[in-house]
């Protein structure tokens, strides 16, 4: 018996087999906990959610919510609330009727169902839109109606499939804050699918990263953000990530072509991560030979608001070469560096430019693989 | 939905961009086709004995035929809805072995000459028919050459129109709404009643209109299975045909009535119909 099973909440192992796709995921969530399923497109996040709701049949595993075995139950008997990506509000019903649909389907009388629906609409701040048809609602309002509709069935488990992805950036901000409040007030377990790191970091108590149908990393949002364990997660949180071997305070990465010193490091197989802004670029070999220096070549320059992201490749292990780096790259670590516009101009950075790159030992995080 | 809007917008742009004269090779046959469709109707209007229309329409025989036609077509449409909508749902939503065969069978009355349909109905439901004989003996129910027979013949011929139309609407509908309803605790019957059917309503309505029009104009199966008894089985199309031999002027007037009814139905439903399209 797992802890989640004893204490209620979600306890599931989801096995779904498709041609060319195989999902096998253990997923637990304590009552009141919000778990975010994070992963690239096609990782199986939405499939996992559909399987929990009973919309996609399981090839194996189990689904238990608050100790109740749902594995063989059809969706309408599961009492699992789901907020769909495009909300799927019934277009022929008013907002109130949409929210009242669940209680009605569960056998509540018409009047009582409508009263409860009105309460829920008020709870999400849409009392005035009760009689509006879905097409008259804004995206943010539709999202709230969808949430109220899912919560009105008093589910033991709440599922949210990309709940904010259909909204524009501005609405998203507001709705995210409101959603955060409602999730905090929800007593059951909640599973949220997203590919937006910000949604995951701000809404979830715990992240579960799925790639290729498998769990690749899980943990508290802050921990995942600081210690990514796959290139996908590293990209998501904007860190440079390498795997290497640590020996006496320095880490050998990129198949031994580069040695990076860190302030504190465990021994053995490790991950090594640092921020793009921690990377310094030079046109010629800097004086004083700072540690962690390597030759690189600019692969791409991208504008990112007030900064520029420089993608570097091609470095040699030989940091003691001539005065200027040669553009021999192609076999070194791929590193992202964030620099100012002034730096781009001063260094004359363009695709193919040879540069020297360095990262301070104090900015490098090393953790066991 | 956004995708759809985008596609429409793009199509609109394309229409703006592509100009120039429509090719004659298409315009000529198009015009011929249009004239061919409209001219007979115009002929009907031109040749109508407008002076005597009033008195002719007042004849009890005409009114009787009109009433019988409207009533039997409406009942037939009701039967088609009652049985055809679930049949369409079955074809669209329940995967079962032989579904393609069943779909083909359903459409057979569509391509079958109505007279053949009438003969087939006689063989099954006639007094000596496979089922008819038993109906007659067990319940004393006789169907051929009765008003019920008219309704049955019309239902047989018109039902495929409804089934095909509704099945198309159900297939085109987004089944994710049904999934959403299921997660809210609705069983399949509730889902059908409160989500599937209302969302397919425009398709059902269009199907019902087609079905009703087809039933109203039914001739071959009706005359074969139900005969031609004034007041009992003589519907408007039969009356028109009969009148053509004895009193051509009366035939024109009766035809005008049918035309008027058809146009009235089209106009009444036009907004809802085009709104659905």
Domain with CATH 2.40.50.100 in chain A: 274-368
From chain B, the residues in CB contact with A101 under 8 A are 181, 184, 186, 194
What does the pLDDT read at residue A350?
87
**Backbone phi, psi, residue A78, to 5°:** -90, -25
Phi, psi of A300 (to 5 degrees): -160, 150
Which architecture does CATH list for B72-234? Orthogonal Bundle (1.10)
Nearest-angstrom CA–CA distance, A280 and A294: 11
Interface test with B, best of A55, A56, A70, A75 (most B CBs within 10 A): A75
A78: Cβ contacts below 8 Å, ≥ 6 apart: A53, A54, A65, A70, B183
The CATH 3.40.50.300 portion of chain A extends over: 3-234
Q: What is the DSSP letter of A2?
A: -
CATH number of A274-368: 2.40.50.100
Q: What is the pLDDT of residue B5?
A: 44
CB A115 within 8 A of CB A130: no
Axis crossing angle, helix B60-93 with helix B236-246, rounded to the nearest 10: 140
Q: 3-state class of A195 per DSSP?
A: coil
Q: How far is B268 from chain A (nearest CA, A)?
A: 22
| 3-state DSSP assignment of residue A96 | helix
Query: Among all residues of chain A, which has the CA nearest to that of B196?
Result: A90
Provide the shortest C-alpha distance from residue B10 to chain A (in Å): 21
Separation CA A141–CA A160 (nearest Å): 16
Which residues of chain A does B190 touch, with a Cβ-Cβ cutoff of 8 Å? 105
Q: What pLDDT is recorded for position B7?
A: 45
Distance between CA atoms of residues B44 and B211, nearest Å: 24
Across the interface, do A105 and B185 touch by the CB < 8 Å criterion? yes
| Per-residue pLDDT, A293 | 87
**Which positions ≥6 away from A241 have C-beta within 8 Å?**
A228, A230, A231, A233, A234, A271, A272, A273
The answer to whether the Cβ–Cβ distance between A82 and B201 falls below 8 Å is no
Q: According to the model, what pLDDT value does residue B92 have?
A: 93
Q: For residue A164, which of A146, A150, A149, A188 has the smallest C-alpha distance?
A: A146
Concatenating the DSSP letter of every residue in chain B gives: -HHHHHHHHHHHHHHHH--SPPPHHHHHHHHHHHHHHHHHHHHHHHHS-GGGHHHHHHSHHHHHHHHHHHHHHHHHHHHHHHHHHHHHHHHHH---TTHHHHHHHHHHHHHS-HHHHHHHHHHHHSTTSTTHHHHHHHH----TTSHHHHHHHHHHHHHHHHHHHHHHHHHHS-THHHHHHHHTT--HHHHIIIIIHHHTHHHHHHHHHHHHHHHHT--HHHHHHT---TTTT--HHHHHHHHHHH-HHHHHHHHHHHHHHHHHHHHHHHHHHHHH-
Q: Are B28 and B21 in contact (CB under 8 A)?
A: no
Backbone angles phi, psi at A154, to 5 degrees: 50, 60
**pLDDT value of position A3:** 47
A335-340 sheet: strands from edge to edge: A279-282, A354-359, A293-304, A307-313, A335-340
Helix (H) or strand (E) holding A204: none
Helix (H) or strand (E) holding A3: helix A3-7
Spatial CB neighbours of A283, under 8 Å, sequence gap ≥ 6: A324, A347, A348, A355, A356
Ranges of residues in chain B with a pLDDT under 50 are 1-10, 12, 276-277
Q: List the single best residue of B1, B4, B173, B185 to mutate versus A (max A Cβ within 10 A).
A: B185
Give me the pLDDT at residue A28, please.
Answer: 93
Instruction: List, in sequence order, every residue forming a beta bridge with A160; answer none if it has no partner.
Output: A83, A192
Domain boundaries, chain B: 72-234
Distance (Å, rounded) from C-alpha A284 to C-alpha B274?
A: 72
Lookup result for tokens 């239902």 = B155
DSSP bridge partners of A311 = A300, A336
Q: What is the token pair recorded at A350?
A: 């363009």
3-state secondary structure of A161: strand
Q: Is A3-234 assigned to CATH 1.20.810.10?
A: no
Contact B69, B240 (CB under 8 A): no
Taking 50 as the pLDDT cut, the residues of chain A under it are 1-5, 316-330
According to the model, what pLDDT value does residue B16 have? 55
Test A84 with B176 for CB contact under 8 angstroms: yes
Nearest chain A Cα distance for residue B269, angstroms: 19
- Rounded to 5 degrees, φ, ψ at B75 are -65, -40
- Inter-chain residue contact A105 with B184, CB threshold 8 Å: yes
Question: Kind of pairing, strands A293-304 and A354-359?
Answer: antiparallel
Check B182 against A75: CB less than 8 A apart: yes
Per-residue pLDDT tens digits for A265-314: 788 889 999 999 999 899 888 877 667 888 888 988 998 888 899 999 86
Which chain A residues are Cβ-neighbours of B176 within 8 angstroms?
84, 86, 88
By CB neighbour count within 10 A (0-12 exposed, 13-18 middle, 19+ buried), where does A184 fall? exposed
The secondary structure of B111-170, three-state, reads HCCHHHHHHHHHHHHCCCCCCHHHHHHHHCCCCCCCHHHHHHHHHHHHHHHHHHHHHHHH
- Helix/strand/coil for A251: strand
> Containing H/E element for A310?
strand A307-313
Which chain B positions have a beta carbon within 8 Å of A86's beta carbon?
1, 176
Cβ distance of A92 and B183 shorter than 8 Å: no
Please, are residues B167 and B93 in contact by the beta-carbon 8 Å criterion? no
Structure tokens at A49: 């959610």
Grouping H, G, I as helix, E, B as strand and the rest as coil, residue A21 is: strand
pLDDT at site B253: 87
Please tell me the predicted confidence (pLDDT) of residue B48: 86
Q: Do A302 and A263 touch, CB atoms closer than 8 A?
A: no
């Amino acid at each position: 018996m797992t802890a989640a099973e004893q204490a209620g909440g979600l306890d599931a192992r989801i096995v779904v087999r498709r041609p060319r796709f195989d999902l096998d995921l253990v997923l637990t969530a304590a009552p009141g906990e919000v778990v975010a399923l994070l992963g690239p497109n096609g990782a199986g996040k939405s499939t996992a959610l559909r399987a929990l709701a009973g919309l996609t049949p399981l090839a194996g595993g189990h689904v238990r919510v608050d100790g109740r075995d749902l594995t063989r139950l059809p969706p309408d008997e599961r009492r699992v609330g789901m907020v769909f990506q495009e909300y799927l509000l019934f277009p022929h019903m008013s907002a109130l009727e949409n929210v009242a649909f669940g209680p009605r389907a569960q056998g509540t009388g018409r009047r009582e169902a409508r009263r409860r629906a009105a309460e829920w609409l008020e709870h999400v701040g849409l009392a005035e839109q009760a009689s509006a048809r879905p097409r008259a609602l804004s995206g943010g309002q539709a999202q709230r109606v969808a949430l109220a509709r899912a919560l009105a069935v008093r589910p033991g488990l709440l599922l949210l499939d990309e709940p904010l992805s259909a909204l524009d950036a501005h609405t998203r901000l507001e709705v995210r804050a409101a959603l955060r409040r409602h999730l905090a007030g929800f007593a059951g377990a909640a599973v949220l699918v997203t590919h937006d790191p910000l949604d995951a970091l701000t809404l979830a108590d715990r992240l579960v990263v799925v790639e290729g149908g498998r769990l690749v990393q899980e943990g508290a949002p802050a921990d995942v953000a600081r210690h990514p364990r796959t290139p996908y997660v590293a990209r998501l949180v904007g860190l440079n990530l390498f795997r290497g071997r640590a020996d006496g305070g320095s880490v050998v990465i990129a198949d031994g072509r580069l040695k990076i010193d860190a302030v504190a490091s465990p021994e053995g197989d490790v991950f090594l991560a640092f921020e793009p802004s921690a990377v310094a670029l030079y046109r010629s070999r800097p004086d004083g030979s700072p540690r962690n220096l390597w030759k690189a070549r600019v692969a791409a320059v991208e504008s990112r608001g007030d900064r520029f992201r420089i993608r570097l490749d091609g470095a040699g292990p030989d940091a003691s070469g001539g005065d200027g780096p040669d553009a021999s790259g192609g076999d070194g670590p791929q590193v992202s560096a964030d620099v100012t516009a002034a730096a781009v101009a001063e260094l004359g950075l363009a695709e193919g430019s040879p540069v020297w790159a360095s990262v301070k030992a104090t900015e490098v995080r090393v953790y066991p693989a | 939905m956004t995708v759809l809007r985008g596609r429409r917008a793009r199509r609109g742009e394309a229409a703006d961009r592509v100009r120039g004269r429509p090719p004659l090779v298409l315009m000529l046959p198009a015009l011929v086709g249009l004239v061919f469709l409209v001219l007979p109707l115009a002929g009907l209007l031109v040749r109508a004995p407008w002076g005597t229309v009033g008195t002719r329409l007042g004849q009890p025989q005409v009114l009787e035929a009109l009433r019988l036609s409207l009533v039997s077509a409406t009942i037939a449409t009701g039967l088609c809805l009652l049985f055809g909508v679930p049949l369409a749902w079955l074809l669209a939503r329940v995967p079962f072995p032989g579904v393609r065969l069943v779909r083909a069978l359903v459409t057979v009355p569509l391509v079958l000459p109505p007279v053949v349909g009438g003969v087939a109905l006689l063989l099954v439901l006639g007094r000596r028919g496979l089922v008819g004989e038993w109906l007659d003996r067990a319940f004393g129910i006789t169907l051929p050459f009765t008003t019920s027979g008219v309704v049955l013949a019309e239902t047989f011929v018109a039902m495929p129109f409804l089934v095909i139309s509704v099945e198309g609407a159900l297939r085109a509908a987004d089944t994710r709404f049904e999934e959403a309803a299921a997660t809210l605790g609705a069983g399949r019957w509730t889902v059908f009643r409160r989500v599937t059917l209302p969302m397919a309503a425009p398709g059902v309505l269009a199907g019902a209109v087609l079905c009703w029009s087809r039933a109203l104009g039914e001739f071959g199966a009706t005359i074969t299975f139900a005969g031609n008894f004034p007041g009992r089985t003589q519907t408007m199309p039969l009356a028109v045909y009969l009148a053509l031999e004895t009193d051509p002027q009366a035939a024109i007037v009766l035809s005008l009535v049918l035309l008027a009814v058809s146009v009235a139905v089209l106009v009444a439903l036009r907004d809802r119909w085009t709104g659905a399209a």
